[in-house]
Structure 1
């Protein structure tokens, strides 16, 4: 049985249409599978590590009252979730230790503070002593809290230009070395200096009249004696200079001055008071009667 031309065309068109729908279905299935793969959650992986934070630990034992500097600490990587109380370097430098911190121990935040009182900043075993200063004594007023200075003393002799004079030549010597400055005027080490208007150029602080030093009890006695008998001068040190230098006592040049004898003071003579005349009695004589009307004394 032969098909006609019209039937053949109908069958051919039907087959082509079926093939087209089949291709479209396969394409749609592929696109759906690709979308499903993209929308699927990523496979579970290992937990991401928590980034470490640079905490700080004590490079040496820090005592109560010490002002913490960068040389006293070192960085240590740590997990802040494991050590929530540990501080960073920005939180401890310039602050004072409120309790003892062992060597290599992480520094907790509650172990440091911004105490403005001088007493808590005096190192253990030391004493705070102030001396009166001028621009000449305190390196033109450039000494700042936290600096290290040497203390010299000049004992004036008979050749001193002005002020009190002693006997013999004037002498100068290094009295104390590597002394920490705790305060200049009212500015205490480790505290913020009061500033002016925000954004304005900061003006230099007014010249301080006192400098407070950290001394041992023995050094306090030495300085107190020198203050009462001589004139003190401060010399500024480089922060990295920690050498103790042995210096000889310097004395003024020239011949030994001869003390000019001072004549003794003679007391002026005491004026002599002329003696008062001795009182005499007055008698009244009437006939053979005598009557004393003045006996010569104050009372009658």
Structure 2
């Protein structure tokens, strides 16, 4: 009897071990997938075209051969076909086989790359692009780059009612998008859309503003005002209301108060 029970018990134990091992691996795979999904969610995604099937070389691409899909920007090939370029893809032949679900690359397609887009396509409807002159110091030592967000400060010499000339600085605009620095556009990318390294060799910055703000900035320049840009954190979209006009009297009155605020609030908050 014992001789019959032992093999049965061994089989049962083996099945239990197999089941538990399978459960463990399934849970580990699920955890890995959750971590991968969380990592992917934290990455910037771009919409590209991928193959819906294995496409042989020499195939004329039809709409049924491709579909849009989201992939992490960091893993996208330099010459990936973006969603907005899809119409230019149809009717062209593949030079090499393309596997199903793989991003379509222009290097696999017969013909030339689509021409790059200009500045006008970067401007949102209802907005305007206006350029302002800058020097190294007025553009954060040339570290401002396309797609950064800035505030615009203006310094002017004005005549007071008593006839005296006085210099004052005020914040003109807040949370403004930089479209270009010099000739470098936000869309001037490598073939697939990744930004080129920053260049400090520019003396103008192009901003995206409303039509009224554009008039505001042009007038400020005509008043011989000096415009200065302050750089924001990418996630900072806050608005400071009731900012003062700063002159020497304001500096004399407020310098102590501002330093106390820095010590009590800013340094304590950042741990500096």
TM-score, normalisation: structure 2: 0.49
TM-score, normalisation: structure 1: 0.45
- Structure number with larger C-alpha Rg: 1
Name the structure, 1 or 2, with higher relative contact order (CA <8 Å, separation 6+).
2
Q: Report which of the two has the higher share of helix.
A: 2
